[in-house]
Structure 1
């Protein structure tokens, strides 16, 4: 998935970094599911760890741990 400019997706964020959600791309059920998990525009996300093969990624958002598949993380544009 290509994202314009210097913005990157949550999938590309290294372990130990905190980022802010800029926007969610895509539509329908995937976007709704991500929003229902508390990942919305403006929220801070800390990348806790990534599985050895790179999928899934574990993050802390709104004070709780959340595990996202790479397919879901690609829909989250961060800054």
Structure 2
């Protein structure tokens, strides 16, 4: 199982599972990232942080540390 951090630019992945504890997991879910959601990776900053994705029709930038808590399948 890959994490969102490992997905390459231009690829679409489906959220399989969210890891993490309490406030971090709640914050990810509040951004619209839930199980079964399609995520398109638009850009990755030159140093890898942040990652720009499209979720549910809107653009979102997330940190590498947050992306590591999102397990996806391609």
Whether the TM-score (by the shorter chain) exceeds 0.5 is: yes
Q: Measure the CA separation in 1 of the matches of 2:48 and 2:30.
A: 24
Between the two proteins, the alignment pairs up a number of residues equal to 73
Partner of 1:59: 53
TM-score, structure 1 length as denominator? 0.91
Q: TM-score by structure 2 length?
A: 0.97
Task: Output the aligned Cα RMSD.
Answer: 0.4
- Equivalent position of 2:13 in the other structure: 19
Q: Give structure 2 stretches of 5+ with no counterpart.
A: none
Q: Which runs of 4+ in 1 moved over 2 A?
A: none
